[in-house]
Amino acid sequence: MSEENKKDYSADSIQALEGMEHVRMRPSMYIGDVGVRGLHHLVYEVVDNSIDEALAGHCDTITVTILEGNGIRVRDNGRGIPVGIHKKEGVSALEVVMTKIGAGGKFDKDSYKVSGGLHGVGVSCVNALSIKLIARVHKDGKIYQQEYSQGKPLYDVKVVGETDWTGTEVEFFPDPEIFELLEYNYDTLATRMRELAFLNKGITITLIDEREKDEKGEVKKEVFHSTRGLAEFVEYLDGTRERLISSVISMEGEKNGIPVEVAMVYNTSYSENIHSYVNNINTHEGGTHLSGFRRGLTHTLKKYADESGLLDKLKFDIAGDDFREGLTAIVSVKVQEPQFEGQTKTKLGNREVTSAVSQSVSEMLSSYLEENPNDAKAIVQKVILAAQARHAAKKAREMVQRKNPMGGMGLPGKLADCASKDASASELYLVEGDSAGGTAKQGRDRHFQAIMPLRGKILNVEKAMQHKIFENEEIKNIYTALGVRIGTEEDSKALNMEKLRYHKVIIMCDADVDGSHIQTLILTFFFRYMKEMIENGYIYIATPPLYQVKKGKQSAYAWDDDERDELIKKLKGNGSESSVHVQRYKGLGEMNAEQLWETTMSPDNRTLRQVTIDSATESDRIFSMLMGDEVPPRREFIEQNAKYANIDA
């Protein structure tokens, strides 16, 4: 791209593709859904425009502010959206960008080499789904402004003041007609801003929350900036794991015209964590860039291991995933015209990317292994151990999937199955302890609810080798009850869900510290070994009540302290002094079958929390921190998030 083209970012660089009435009718087609995810997606769309300015070399500072009333302001120091009259549309280019879906410099290849976001769906979509949006452009010493409601301009672009900086400011309030809820989650936005700072080193992203002030009246604020990019990202993700090699292996460069950035490190754990990105979008279904990474890694390490003579005594072949045990890696590519496939359109399909990444990884690893012989030896020894463990795990897995003499899987004896054979209508409750399991069996609706009690705390899979996991009785029972099959030649953890017997798996534990621990152990197992179950939306958490409030024959349940206080006030009535009786449920076993059904299991009354993965990288970091060996970060996390700190003191 010539320098003149870079500079000549004017009204004519903006192309309008189609009208935007459809966005309000079918918002989910554009932003995924109208729940929590879609609400936050609006922010990412606006921020992505600023990131594109940064990728093009015109912006290095972005500020995202959550306003009181759950509005959002995104400000950057880029060139400012063009405000001149657009020849084809006859109005300001700013209005075209804001009101025509698909309008944007992204579609003019001379303006941006690559861009993130939903490929130009962008800010006009946000505008269509906002009750109010104000766009301000600081350019040529003037502030240009236009205001909109539900995507329609309220007046022509006008000059509203003078300025001494250049950039764009977009302030918007999501439309309550569209969204189920309107409250922004600070941590969700912080996770994405941190990720963007790591993926685009050198950019400073500030997140401010004006809704929350401390005793001094100061707002909550975090600044994200990375000088080393992906190498720092890997260090952040692996902060609570024990390192196997001395330093992070990383590279960045261009191969066949495709910018490739890779960072990786080996640790002593047994899990593989590879996260891949295309134009800053997390491709959690993988794709050609991930295939390229795996090919480059396997080929280079196998060649080194063969030549080192360390594999001579091994009696069986090493497989691809042996090279990835204990590996944390991030692969990020920038592709001018990405093609996405897969269920959620997050799998990269561009074939040319495979060899670009594969070559980059091979070159990076070859030189690292030559220059660091001690680390190279440690990696190969880890690979050999992984191969031996995989061999043992294969036998253990076959035991999990053994057939009974009658044909078909032998269901666990502890499972009280449901009558329905329709997986989409069936639910499996994983219940803490035999006594609560017994109550749940009595209280359930046998037609569609199955119960399986779990004895004690299940194995912490974060610290166990694969064959130990498949040998564990409770985990074997979960696999068998679900009817899933595990492991293929290429991927020993791959899950085959064709014969899945339940589309709702509900974790039901006591509302106390032990219950939370068991819940986390079960979730860790699903995240590491059955992630597909979470991704398909099949995993839920039951929420039993914390209190029963009684007065005479009247009684009601409360799920938190505020609700309890409200009920006490209500039952006391007009200042009546008789002390209302409050029972704190410490365990499921304290409820009888009827109470458990009424509060926690009846589809008419219960509250189920669906387990989702908003950010695979952040989930990976939190599980390794919660279930690993490092105590201080875990204590800090629990202190910040604990619900039960005072209850069980």
Query: What domains can be seen in the chain, in order of their start residue?
Result: 3-225 (3.30.565.10), 230-397 (3.30.230.10), 406-544+608-641 (3.40.50.670)
Cα separation, 368 vs 363, whole angstroms = 9
Tens-digit pLDDT profile for residues 496-512? 888 999 999 999 998 88
Q: Which of 41-50, 85-94, 635-644 has the lowest mean pLDDT?
A: 635-644
Nearest-5° Cα angle at 91, 90 to 96:
110
CB-CB contact of 129 with 174 (8 Å):
yes
Q: In 218-290, which ranges are E strands? A: 219-225, 249-255, 258-266, 273-278, 281-282
The closest of 492, 509, 480, 497 to 535, measured between CA atoms, is 497
pLDDT band for position 117 (50/70/90)? very low
Decide: 364 and 262 in contact? Cβ < 8 Å.
yes
| 212 pLDDT tier (thresholds 50, 70, 90) | confident
Report whether 446 contacts 526 (CB < 8 A).
no
Q: What is the pLDDT at residue 33? A: 87
- DSSP symbol at 647: T
pLDDT band at 469 (very low <50, low <70, confident <90, very high): confident
Average pLDDT, the chain: 87
Unique residue bearing structure tokens 């769309």: 45
Tell me the per-residue pLDDT of 221-251, one tens digit each, with 9 for 90 and over. 999 999 999 999 999 999 989 999 999 999 9
Confidence band (pLDDT; 50, 70, 90) for 491?
Answer: low
State how far the Cα of 68 lies from the Cα of 105, in Å rounded to an integer: 31
Among residues 568, 566, 593, the alpha carbon closest in space to that of 579 is found at 568
Q: What is the pLDDT of residues 532-552, one digit of tens each?
A: 999 999 999 999 999 999 988
Select from 30, 131, 122, 118 the least CA-distant residue to 74. 122
pLDDT in tens, 135-166: 999 999 999 999 999 999 999 999 999 999 99
Residue 424 has pLDDT above 50, yes or no: yes
- The share of the chain scoring above pLDDT 70, in percent, equals 89
pLDDT for res 9 = 63
Closest CA to 486 of 538, 535, 529: 529
pLDDT at 107 over 60: no
pLDDT of residue 88: 86
The structure's pTM equals 0.80
Diameter of the chain measured on Cα atoms: 86
The percent of residues in the chain predicted with pLDDT above 90, rounded, is 57
Digit-coded pLDDT (tens) for 197-206: 999 999 999 9
Q: Look at phi and psi of residue 345 and say left if phi exceeds 0, alpha if psi is from -120 to 50, else beta.
A: left
Nearby residues of 58 by Cβ (< 8 Å), 6 or more positions away: 78, 79
Residue that wins the pLDDT comparison between 353 and 460:
353
Mean pLDDT of 400-405: 54
Q: Cα dist. 224→41, 200, 204 in Å?
A: 19, 11, 6
Kindly list the catalytic residues.
432, 510, 512, 514
Please give the full DSSP string across 285-300, using - where no structure is assigned: T-BHHHHHHHHHHHHH
CA distances from 529 to 325, 466, 609, 619 (A): 13, 10, 21, 14
**Rounded CA separation 80/88 (Å):** 20
